[in-house]
Amino acid sequence: MANTFNLPVLGENIDAGTVISVLVKKGDTISKDQAILELETDKAVVEVPCSVDGTVEKVLVNEGDTIEIGAPLLELGSAGAAAPAKEEVKEEAPAPVKEEAPAKPEPEQPVKEEAPAPVAAPSPAASKANNAVPRPSKKVRSAPSVRKLAREIGVDIGQVNPSAAGKAITAADVKAHAKNILTSGGGAPMAGGIAAVPLPDFARFGDIRREAMSNVRKVTMESMTRSWTTIPHVTQQDKADITELEKFRKSFGGPVQQAGGKLTATAILVKVLAEALKKFPQFNVSLDAPNAEIIYKDYYNIGVAVDTEHGLMVPVIKDVDQKSITEIALNLTDISQKARSRKLSLDDFQGSCMTITNLGGIGGTSFTPIVNSPEVAILGVSRSTMEPVYIDGEFVPRNMMPLSLSYDHRAIDGADGARFTRWICTALEHPMSILLN
């Protein structure tokens, strides 16, 4: 009898992906942990391994398919059971990322809308996507992670309908509900009380074309919307005199290059930022707003924004405080190459304490980067230029680097934001001070 192997849980907050390639075919004999397909999830392309031995009797997915956690992938004959971990969700247990196993049928209970909450009438698009049983706002079945997602993106989970009767609300249901609100202009407002504005008919003005967003662009849209609508941003601007730093960088660039890396300003900034987080621990936190708690971190991982043809990616350099600038430079070279070739793993994107985004190679004088939630700050870097600086009674040419620090004003006060930025500037202006301290 054939066993069905379903898509297992791949990682935190990952509930779907697009099949890039299928690595097996009917008749193949596969072994445990053998890769059976490549899946694009958010910003990484990962190989999905099979958890059992068996012979492929039928391949249930095709290249280009978008599939969710729990979706059937293969029918396998002989050699062992093929039950993926954490698929079936029982009512009394917290749900995993996605539930696809059939639940025990429950008698459908008609809901009398005796005192409905006053909400705007849903648009036709929203009604079509939410045509399952109505749910009263006080009684919903969903995992804690799903409720957290709803809170973060400003969705009332009591207004979300499950994709099928008798099932719990999933992360995909919450995202679909939010998407309907954004695209339709109707329904309940998003965080901040603002509903999407309906688009005009652009075809009236000339030829148009539509293209589906890539996974990277969709994830960027969702995460930036969530961050901007839930975090009160403040951006602190400053300039660092990096004249001496550039001399230092050019003097010691040779050994780093021989080791296979490149001593860039970003590599030095990554190290400086980790030291700044030690000096100002209120920046190395995340907020647990529902529980009114601040989560302090005793590790120092720095995310670095990488511009690729697939979109913006933010891989993470781990344990920066324990690495030399040379090691950081080598890590930067490695993750940048992997990001541009889509070879980063899911773990490469996780665990960041704070992010650096450097636009100096492109240009600009300053900008206001958006905090990468659940972090509370992000450092933006613009192109350095030679400027006249008044020193000891005369103007002298100095190489000045603009810095833009955006931070979550719920966690960080303005005075601390200014002190943090000035500390970074001082460290860059006296690069040897990092070694002394």
Least confidently predicted of 57-71, 80-94, 170-184, 322-336: 80-94
pTM for the whole thing?
A: 0.66
Residue 434 pLDDT more than 80? no
Least confidently predicted of 144-148, 351-355, 400-404: 144-148
Q: 72-86: string of b/e by CB count within 10 Å (b at 16+)?
A: ebbbbeeeeebebee
Residue 177 pLDDT more than 50? yes
- Closest of 68, 69, 72 to residue 57, by C-alpha: 72
Residue 362 pLDDT more than 50? yes
Burial of 208 (0-12, 13-18, 19+ CB in 10 A): exposed
Please state, rounded to an integer, the average pLDDT across all residues of the chain: 81
Whole-number pLDDT of residue 42? 65
Distance CA 395, CA 407 (A): 33
Residues of the chain with CATH 2.40.50.100: 3-77
Tell me whether residue 409 is one of the annotated catalytic residues. yes
Mean pLDDT of all residues in 228-241: 95
Whole-number pLDDT of residue 413? 96
Least confidently predicted of 105-119, 211-225, 274-288: 105-119
What's the Cα-to-Cα distance from 183 to each of 141, 176, 186, 194, 320, rounded to whole Å? 26, 10, 8, 12, 41
- Closest of 167, 163, 194, 164 to residue 177, by C-alpha: 163
Residue 106 pLDDT more than 60? no
* Residue 354 near residue 303, CB atoms below 8 Å: yes
pLDDT tens digits for 275-324? 999 999 999 999 998 889 999 999 999 999 999 887 888 999 999 999 99
Label each residue of the chain as H, E or C. Answer: CCEEEECCCCCCCCCEEEEEEECCCCCCEECCCCEEEEEEECCEEEEEECCCCEEEEEECCCCCCEEECCCEEEEEECCCCCCCCCCCCCCCCCCCCCCCCCCCCCCCCCCCCCCCCCCCCCCHHHHHHCCCCCCCCCCCCECHHHHHHHHHCCCCHHHCCCCCCCCCECHHHHHHHHHHHHHHCCCCCCCCCCCCCCCCCHHHCCCCCCCCCCHHHHHHHHHHHHHHHHCCEEEEEEEEECHHHHHHHHHHHHHHHHCCCCCCHHHHHHHHHHHHHHHCHHHCEEEEHHHCEEEECCCCCEEECEEECCEEECCEECCHHHCCHHHHHHHHHHHHHHHHCCCCCHHHHCCCCEEEEECCCCCCCCCCCCCCCCCCEEEEECCCEEEEEEECCEEEEEEEEEEEEEEECCCCCHHHHHHHHHHHHHHHHCCHHHHHC
Mean pLDDT of all residues in 93-104: 45
Domain at 3-77, CATH from 3.30.470.30, 3.40.50.1370, 1.20.1440.130, 2.40.50.100: 2.40.50.100
The arrangement of secondary structure in 233-436, i.e. its CATH architecture, is: 2-Layer Sandwich (3.30)
Residues of the chain with CATH 3.30.559.10: 233-436
Whole-number pLDDT of residue 139? 58
Least confidently predicted of 78-82, 130-134, 279-283, 369-373: 130-134
Please work out, in degrees rounded to the nearest 5, the angle formed at the alpha carbon of residue 116 by the alpha carbons of 111 and 117. Answer: 135
Residue 103 pLDDT more than 50? no
Distance CA 5, CA 50 (A): 8
Tell me the range of 96-105, 193-202, 403-412 where mean pLDDT is highest. 403-412
Q: Considering 177, 310, 409, 430, which one is annotated as catalytic?
A: 409
- Cross-strand pairs, 398: 387
Distance CA 116, CA 82 (A): 45
Distance CA 303, CA 296 (A): 17
Whole-number pLDDT of residue 388? 96
Percent above pLDDT 70 for the chain: 79
Residue 193 pLDDT more than 60? no
pLDDT tens digits for 9-57? 876 667 778 888 899 998 899 988 888 888 887 667 778 888 888 899 9
Percent above pLDDT 90 for the chain: 41
Whole-number pLDDT of residue 435? 63
pLDDT tens digits for 124-160? 343 333 433 334 344 567 777 778 788 777 778 888 8
What's the Cα-to-Cα distance from 300 to each of 47, 157, 296, 323, 406, rounded to whole Å? 28, 34, 11, 11, 19
